Amino acid sequence: MRAFILIAFISLSLNFHSCDEDGNLLLPIPLTEAEVAQGLREALKVGTNNSVEQTNKLDGYFGNPDIKIPWPQDAMGAYNYISNNLSVIKPLLDEVVLLMNRGAEQASEKAGPIFIDAIMSITILDAWEILNGADNAATMYLYQTTFSSLHTEFKPDIHSALQTVGAATAWNEIISVYNPIANVLPTLNPLNPDLAEYATEMALEGLFFLIAEEELKIRTDPLARINDILKRVFGTLDN
């Protein structure tokens, strides 16, 4: 164990210091602005790639309680009313939740290229502030600068995925039975027919949640820094 720690220490030291001809360590080599920007881009590439990989598989959303897409919170009145009064469509409630998650799992692969394009736009001007910011600073930068465009690009894929897995059909069946009742009872609110809008927002929120987790790993765990530029840039946070 001591030998492993010594090797790790020497490795980190060599990454961040220069040596003279006799092998004596000199002062740390300062990071350049270009290195910081490159490191942040690389960190977000790792984070987004890992997040897409986690979600783009069976139960990537549905099996992860942190990002599972639930029944819409603002439609809980409908959920409760249907559960208690409309046994004919009650089974569709949980089916919609399952199929929404299946749709997000299917569509999430399309997010990868969109993320990469956005990551490459990080400027040197923003780099130092992000590096020295909060543990999710890079993720928040990506969120603030890309969520709107991601939503625009992602929603058609979610819509298509919901059609493919049958979520849209189940949702429309619920609406066809429930909304006529809701329209005549003042205590009930009709369901929004645009299920893709809700599923898109929740799917993207889940992706950004995972990206933030990946960023935190890179910032705090040297073993998560899988290449030299990540070790070089984020290793400065260990000092």
The per-residue pLDDT for 196 is 95
Spell out the alpha helix ranges (H) of 120-191. Answer: 124-131, 137-165, 167-182
The per-residue pLDDT for 23 is 52
Above 50 in pLDDT, residue 9?
Answer: no
Per-residue pLDDT tens over the stretch 87-101: 999 999 999 999 999
Report the chain's mean pLDDT, rounded to a whole number. Answer: 86
Q: How confident is the model at residue 25 (pLDDT cuts 50, 70, 90)?
A: very low
Residue 198: closest CA among 164, 165, 177, 167? 167
Task: Please give the helix or strand (H or E) that residue 231 lies within, else none.
Answer: helix 228-234
Half-sphere exposure of 48 (CA within 13 A, CB side): 27
Buried/exposed 137-174: b ≥16 CB within 10 Å, e otherwise:
bbbbbbbeebbeebeebbbebbbbbbeebebbebbeeb
The per-residue pLDDT for 125 is 79
Cβ distance 136 to 216 under 8 Å?
Answer: yes
Above 70 in pLDDT, residue 239?
Answer: no
Measured distance CA(55)–CA(52) in Å, rounded: 5
Measured distance CA(53)–CA(109) in Å, rounded: 8
Q: What CA dihedral angle connects 170, 60, 147 and 165, to 10 degrees?
A: -20
Beta strands, E only, the chain: 17-19, 25-28
The per-residue pLDDT for 123 is 80
Above 90 in pLDDT, residue 179?
Answer: yes
Under DSSP, the state recorded for 185 is -
Cβ distance 189 to 182 under 8 Å?
Answer: yes
Place of tokens 């290195």: 35
Per-residue pLDDT tens over the stretch 181-217: 999 999 999 999 999 999 999 999 999 999 999 999 9
Half-sphere exposure of 49 (CA within 13 A, CB side): 7
